[in-house]
Amino acid sequence: MTTAMTTMKKFQDQYLTLMARIEEPVVSFTGRAAGSVADYVPELPHWVFLEQVPTMTEFVDSQLKFRKQVVDEQAAFVRKMVKAIHPLMKTEPQAPVAKRAAAKPSPVRRVGVKAA
The answer as to whether 93 is a domain residue is: no
Instruction: With respect to residue 58, please indicate whether it lies within any of the assigned structural domains.
Output: yes
Within a domain: 95: no
Considering the domain boundaries, does residue 32 fall inside one? yes
Q: Cα separation of 41 and 55, whole Å?
A: 18
φ and ψ at residue 88, rounded to 5 degrees? -80, -20
> Residue 51 — pLDDT band, cuts 50, 70, 90?
confident
Tell if the pTM clears 0.75, that is, is over it. no
How many whole angstroms separate alpha carbon 68 and alpha carbon 115? 58
Q: What is the mean pLDDT of residues 87-96?
A: 70
The answer, yes or no, to whether residue 1 has pLDDT greater than 80, is no
Contact call for residues 97 and 104 (beta carbons, < 8 A): no
Are residues 24 and 53 located together in one domain of the fold?
no
Q: Is residue 21 part of a domain?
A: yes
The domain of 80 spans: 49-86
Instruction: Tell me the three state secondary structure of residue 61.
Output: helix
DSSP 41: S
Q: Quick check: 10 pLDDT over 80?
A: yes
What digits encode the pLDDT tens for the residues 12-43? Answer: 999 999 999 999 999 999 999 999 999 999 98
Overall average pLDDT of the 82-98 stretch: 76
Residues 38 and 9 in one domain: yes
- Number of domains composing the chain: 2
Evaluate if residue 75 carries a pLDDT over 70.
Answer: yes
